[in-house]
Amino acid sequence: MSPSRTAIRNSIRTLRFHHGEMTQQELAERVGLTRQTIIAIEQGRYSPSLEAAFKIARVFRAPLEEVFQYEG
């Protein structure tokens, strides 16, 4: 059984790389999530809440659309 993907894509991995190779743990601590949840979001296995999505975008100082893209 393959993991179910959400219709929301994201650029978190790329943005982390461009922000001083930020680790998943560091991002998780800054937005108040667990590292496992960050991994799940990056892999498209979990769509974060709107609040968490805004927090992630704020960490990268980027608009929401740059971090998350809807491919429905």
Partner 1 sequence: MLELPPLVLTAGILWGLAGLFCLSVVLRRWRTRHQEPQPNRYPAALVSGILLLAWAPVVSAVQIVAIVAVYGYYGVRLWGVPLTPIRATATLIGMTILMILIGIASHILIAVRTRPERADERDEVVELRGARNAYRALAAGLWCVLLLFLAHSFLGLPSQGLLFYAIMAAFALAELVRLGSQLLYYRLGT
**Contact pick of 11, 19, 42, 46 for partner 1 (by CB under 8 A):** 46
Q: What values do phi and psi take at 46, rounded to 5?
A: -150, 130
Distance between CA 49 and CA 56 in Å, rounded? 11
9 binds partner 1 (CB under 8 A): no
Distance between CA 40 and CA 45 in Å, rounded? 5
DSSP H or E run through 16: helix 12-18
Region of 8-16, 25-33, 60-68 interacting with partner 1 (CB under 8 A) = 25-33
11 binds partner 1 (CB under 8 A): no
Residues of the shown chain interacting with partner 1 in the complex, contacts defined by CB under 8 A:
1-6, 25, 29, 32-34, 36-37, 40, 43-49, 52
